[in-house]
Amino acid sequence: MNKFTLLIDCFDQKGIVNAVSGFISENNGNIIDSQQYSSGLTAHFFMRVLVDATKFNIKIEDLNSAFSSIAARFSMNFKFSHHTKKMAVLVSKYDHCLYDLLLRKQYGEINVEIPVIISNHLDLKHVATAFNIPFEYYPIEKISDSTKASYDSKLNQEAQIIKRLQELEIDFIALARYMQILTPQFINSYPYRIINVHHGFLPSFKGAKPYHQAYDKGVKIIGATAHYATEDLDMGPIIEQGVINIDHRDTVEDYISKGRDIEKQVLAKAIRAHAEDKIIVHDGKTLVFD
């Protein structure tokens, strides 16, 4: 173990920083980065510490118990992280977010392992192949005589995917323009560990066809939003947002085209923050450390 991250939140009290930094220095760790925030309004305290643990006295498996007395004293929520996270990417037919994630991973911008790319379509298999990442296909059957997906088939497909994600010990999931609404069974299997990108500036333009909604309204700026998926569609805690100017000459197709650039950027930023344990969800909102 070379480094670990510690995320903390609790009611604001005197002596927290001193207790945490004492725990680290007494055990021969060195604080590389430390950020904290104290909400004046709610008197809640949030902290992220990144520790050089090359000479740390405590073993990984003992971290939680070693810290437990401090945590109890301040009634802390806390989480230690020390390994590179495993991220599954779910896609359908759009490739821009997928390419973006794979390239950023290759450049070292996003520190994750990607054991699998999962899709309900075969369209993007070639992209996975080009980047040497296993691609797995889990189709959803249509209702006979219809273009609608069968809900039974969907539940079954999700169950297979969840089983597979568990086998692969996936830590979190990126919905890289996955064009299916996940059912509660899936959402609740990975609470605050599924990151979706919505191509609307939430809370405006929830649901289907946000660019069409934006066009009809005549807004002058469009946006994209990365958020944790929750049961309440497009209403989960927002992690990152981005915007781009448009004008009267832009058609919905132009929105789609310009939107690609921000969709992939906000998704990548959100994933990066999650992968580096920089996000705390509190009261339905995120706190994202720099």
184 binds a copy of itself (CB under 8 A): no
Q: Of 9, 234, 250, 277, which residue is the catalytic one?
A: 234
* Contact region with a copy of itself (CB under 8 A), list: 66-74, 100-108, 137-145, 189-197: 100-108
- The answer to whether residue 216 is catalytic is no
Q: Are the CB atoms for 279 and 45 separated by under 8 Å?
A: no
* Nearest residue to 98 (alpha-carbon basis) of 123, 66, 63: 123
Residue number, 187 or 224, with CB nearest to a copy of itself: 224
Q: How far is the CB of 253 from a copy of itself (least distance, A)?
A: 9
27 binds a copy of itself (CB under 8 A): no
Q: Quick one: which H or E segment has residue 160? A: helix 151-167
286 binds a copy of itself (CB under 8 A): yes
* Contact region with a copy of itself (CB under 8 A), list: 61-69, 134-142, 145-153, 248-256: 248-256
Q: Are the CB atoms for 127 and 102 separated by under 8 Å?
A: yes
Residue number, 175 or 202, with CB nearest to a copy of itself: 202
Token digits of residue 95:
């490739």
Residues in 192-231 that interact with a copy of itself by CB under 8 A: 201-204, 217-221, 223
Q: Are the CB atoms for 106 and 268 separated by under 8 Å?
A: no
15 binds a copy of itself (CB under 8 A): yes
Residues in 129-148 that interact with a copy of itself by CB under 8 A: 130
239 binds a copy of itself (CB under 8 A): yes
**Choice from 11, 33, 188, 208 touching a copy of itself (CB under 8 A):** 33
Q: How far is the CB of 243 from a copy of itself (least distance, A)?
A: 5
1 binds a copy of itself (CB under 8 A): no
DSSP for 41-101, please give it.
TTTEEEEEEEEE-TT-SS-GGGHHHHHHHHHHHHT-EEEEE-SPEEEEEEESS--HHHHHH
The 3-state DSSP class for residue 231 equals coil
Q: How far is the CB of 195 from a copy of itself (least distance, A)?
A: 14
**Choice from 10, 17, 71, 149 touching a copy of itself (CB under 8 A):** 17
Give the count of beta carbons closer than 10 Å to the beta carbon of residue 129.
12
Q: Are the CB atoms for 224 and 262 separated by under 8 Å?
A: yes
* Residue in this structure with the two tokens 């994202």, named with its chain if needed: 288
* Burial class for 204, CB neighbours closer than 10 Å (0-12, 13-18, 19+): middle
Q: Cα 64 to chain center, whole Å?
A: 24
103 binds a copy of itself (CB under 8 A): yes
Binding site for a copy of itself (CB under 8 A): 14-15, 17-18, 21-22, 24-25, 28, 30-38, 40-41, 46, 95-96, 99, 103, 107-109, 126, 130, 201-204, 217-221, 223, 237-243, 247-249, 251, 257, 260-261, 265, 284-288, 290
